[in-house]
């Protein structure tokens, strides 16, 4: 065969118009529409136009308007990205891990307990060890659902949701155990994480109130790791094959049961890491519901990022910005931060239904050639 023919075969098509539309245009439109609908919601609940404007200004200011804002954005983004990576891994393997919230709680709890159990170990060992413990706890908790799916076919959506609900109760219980509960307190709050286990703040030399911490590096490392795992490693190939077509993967000799358990464990591990990140870098101890919905927002982050590690990174930054800005919005304009939840849900709707966006904005999209009849 000619060399030209060989070169032709090797050519990667430049991103076609439809792929570009799906990857960039749709998410951008989704965000714009969601913000507009958010404004409409505010108007509908008796918020006057001036305040709506004030809210969005605050949103912007609180997310990127100052060094403090950026620090807040990064701090909020880190656990979202980590948990989002876990969810993205799961989606790629065909698994809907709605249980990131519970895995996050387990991971954070484990990190705290490990931390205060060994307060005198030097930081250079204790901190990574706590992080690892958190990841391991999340992984084990998630693999319960994975094993159930592999062995009995139980759909992981229901089992992870149930595990979530169980984890809340489990946390409540553990926070009142004598060896966990903070001395001298009767409310459910754990002992504090020792200094040696904490993720250090990075910019205290500029301003001691800046909360951004070393968890950022952990996050970036995780992004690189997941990228390598999904696209370069053998295991990642197996995840993706199982996710796209489990039958074909089985016929090709891949062990689908093992893959399901490993994928759930990996997803749970990242969620657990997110929990450990929160506890060791921000909170310093565990309280009921410290996960604050991160596990659910991570679903949006994973979807917005198209289950691609780099996409998840950017999506997580966006959602971190929304959160940081939302807090400012609540302070400046008095609008409840739950509005951010609505905006986030709307973003997912539009990202997960490109057809919907095309229907609302027919301009800007090439007429689809795949419509029949």
Partner 1 sequence: MDIELRGITKRFGEVVANEGINLDIRAGEVLGLLGENGAGKSTLMNVLSGLYRPNEGEILIDGAPVSFEGPGDAIRAGIGMVHQHFMLVPVFSVAENVVLGVEPTGRFDRLDLDTARAQVHDINEKYGLHVDPDALIETLPVGVQQRVEIIKVLFRSADVLILDEPTAVLTPQEVEEFFQIVRALRDAGKALVFITHKLNEILEISDRISVMRRGRITGEGDPKKLDRKALAEMMVGRPVSFDVKKDPYNPSANQLEINDLIVLNDDDEVAVNHVNLTVCGGEVVGIAGVQGNGQSTLIEAITGVRRAAHGTIKMGEQDITHISVRARHRAGMAHIPEDRHSDAFIANFTVAENMVLDTYYDERFSKGLQINWPKVYEKTVEFVQDFDVRTPSIFAQAGHLSGGNQQKLVVARELSRETRLIIAGQPTRGLDVGSIEYIHKRLMDARDSGDGLLIVSSELDEILALSDRILVMFKGQIVAEFDATKGPPDKGAIGLAMAGVTA
Partner 2 sequence: MTAATDNPNTASRKLDTGKERQARIVGAILIVFALLVMFAFAPDQAGNATFRLSRPTDVWVLPNLVVPSGPFIYVSAALLAFLGVRQFVRGGGKWTSLSLGVGLAILVLAFLVWATTGKAFSLTGMLQATMVRAVPIALGGLAGVLSERVAVVNIAIEGMLLAGAFTGALVGSVLGGMGGLVAAIAVGGMFGFILAALVVTYRMDQIIAGVVINLFVLGLTSYISSQVFQEYRFLNNAPVFRAIKIPILGDIPVIGPMLFNQNIFVYGALIMVAVATYYLFYTRMGLRARSVGEHPQAADTLGINVYRTRYVNVTLAGMVAGFGGAWFTLGAVGRFDEGMTGGRGYIGLAAMIFGRWHPVGALMAALVFGFADSLQQKLALLNTPIPSDFLAMAPYIATIIVVAGLIGRARAPAADGKPYIKE
Out of 50, 205, 208, 234, name the contact with partner 1 by CB under 8 A.
Answer: 234
355 binds partner 2 (CB under 8 A): yes
User: Which residues partner with 213 through β-bridges?
Assistant: 201
Per CB under 8 A, 35 contacts partner 2? no
Residue 341 contacts by C-beta under 8 Å, 6 or more apart in sequence? 293
* Region of 3-11, 100-108, 150-158, 201-209 interacting with partner 1 (CB under 8 A): 3-11
Residues 61, 182, 211, 240: which binds partner 1 (CB under 8 A)?
240
CB atoms within 10 A of CB 330: 18
Smallest distance from partner 1 to CB 289, Å: 38
Tokens for 192? 């504090």
Residue 346 binds: one of partner 2, partner 1, none (C-beta under 5 to 8 A by kind): partner 2
- Distance between CA atoms of residues 16 and 20, nearest Å: 6
152 contacts partner 1 (rule: CB under 8 A): no
What's the alpha-carbon Rg for the chain, to the nearest Å? Answer: 22
3-class DSSP state of 291? coil
Total Cβ atoms within 10 A of residue 26:
24
Strand partners, 347: none
Binding residue (CB under 8 A) for partner 1 from 49, 221, 252, 310: 252
> Binding partner of residue 162 among partner 1, partner 2, none, CB under 5 to 8 Å per kind?
partner 2
Tokens 């509908």 appear where? 44
* Nearest of 98, 231, 204 to residue 156 by alpha carbon: 98
In this chain, which of 61, 255, 285, 306 binds partner 1, going by CB under 8 A?
255
By CB under 8 A, name the one of 36, 169, 233, 364 that touches partner 1.
Answer: 233
Letters for 200-229 (x = contact with partner 1 by CB under 8 A, - = none) are: ----------------------------x-
Whether 118 and 224 have beta carbons less than 8 Å apart is answered as: no
Q: Does 170 bind partner 2 (CB under 8 A)?
A: yes
Alpha helix positions (H), 153-201: 156-174
Q: What are phi and psi of 364, to 5 degrees?
A: 90, -10
Binding mask 266-305 for partner 2 (x = CB under 8 A): ------------------------------x--xx--x--
Q: Residue from 46, 120, 186, 373 that binds partner 1 (CB under 8 A)?
A: 373
Per CB under 8 A, does 372 bind partner 2? yes
Considering beta carbons, is residue 28 or 158 the nearer one to partner 2?
Answer: 158
Dihedral angle of Cα 153, 156, 157, 161, to the nearest 10 degrees: 130
Distance CA 193, CA 256 (A): 40
Report which of 142, 117, 140, 139 is spatially closest to residue 129, judged by C-alpha positions: 117
Closest CA to 294 of 281, 307, 277: 277
Contact call for residue 196 and partner 2 (CB under 8 A): no
Cα–Cα distance for residue pair 130/199, rounded to 1 Å:
10
Residue 173 engages partner 2 in binding (rule: CB under 8 A): yes
Contact letters (x/-) for partner 2, 43-82, by CB under 8 A?
--xxx-----------------------------------
Q: Which of residues 126-165 bind partner 2 (CB under 8 A)?
A: 148, 151-155, 157-159, 161-163, 165
227 or 319: CB nearest partner 2: 319
Tokens 């591990």 — which residue? 269
- Torsional class of 46: left (φ above 0), alpha (ψ -120 to 50), beta (otherwise): left
Binding site for partner 1 (CB under 8 A): 1, 5-6, 8-13, 228, 232-235, 237, 240-241, 244-245, 247-255, 369-370, 372-373
Binding site for partner 2 (CB under 8 A): 41, 45-47, 96, 98, 148, 151-155, 157-159, 161-163, 165-166, 169-170, 172-173, 296, 299-300, 303, 335-336, 338-342, 344-346, 348-349, 352-353, 355-356, 359, 372-373
């Amino acid at each position: 065969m000619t060399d030209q023919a060989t070169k032709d075969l090797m050519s990667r098509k430049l991103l076609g118009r439809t792929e570009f539309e799906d990857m960039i245009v749709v998410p951008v439109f989704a965000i714009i529409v969601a913000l507009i609908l958010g404004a409409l919601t505010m108007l509908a609940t008796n918020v006057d136009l001036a305040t709506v404007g004030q809210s969005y200004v605050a949103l912007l200011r609180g997310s990127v308007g100052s060094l403090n804002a950026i620090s807040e954005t990064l701090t909020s983004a880190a656990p979202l990205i980590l948990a989002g990576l876990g969810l993205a891994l799961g989606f790629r393997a065909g698994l809907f891990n709605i249980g990131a919230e519970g895995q996050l709680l387990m991971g954070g709890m484990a990190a705290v307990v490990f931390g205060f159990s060994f307060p005198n170990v030097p930081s250079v060992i204790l901190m990574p060890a706590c992080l690892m413990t958190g990841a391991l706890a999340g992984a084990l908790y998630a693999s319960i659902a994975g094993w159930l799916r592999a062995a009995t076919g139980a759909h992981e959506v229901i089992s992870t949701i149930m595990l979530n609900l169980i984890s809340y109760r489990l946390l409540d219980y553990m926070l009142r155990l004598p060896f966990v509960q903070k001395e001298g307190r009767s409310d459910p709050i754990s002992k504090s994480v020792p200094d040696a286990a904490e993720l250090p703040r990075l910019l205290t030399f500029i301003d001691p109130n800046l909360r951004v911490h070393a968890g950022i590096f952990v996050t970036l490392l995780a992004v690189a790791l997941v990228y390598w795992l999904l696209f370069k490693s053998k295991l990642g190939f197996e995840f993706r094959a199982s996710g796209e077509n489990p039958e074909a993967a089985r016929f090709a000799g891949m062990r689908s049961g093992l893959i399901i358990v490993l994928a759930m464990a990996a997803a749970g591990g990242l969620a657990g890491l997110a929990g450990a990140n929160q506890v060791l870098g921000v909170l310093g101890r565990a309280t009921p519901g410290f996960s604050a919905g991160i596990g659910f927002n991570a679903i949006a982050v994973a979807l917005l990022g198209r289950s691609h590690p780099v996409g998840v990174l950017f999506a997580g930054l966006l959602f971190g910005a929304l959160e940081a800005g939302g807090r400012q919005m609540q302070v400046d304009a008095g609008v409840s931060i739950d509005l951010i939840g609505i905006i986030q849900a709307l973003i997912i709707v539009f990202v997960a239904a490109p057809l919907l966006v095309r229907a609302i904005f027919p301009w800007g999209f090439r007429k689809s050639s795949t419509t029949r009849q």
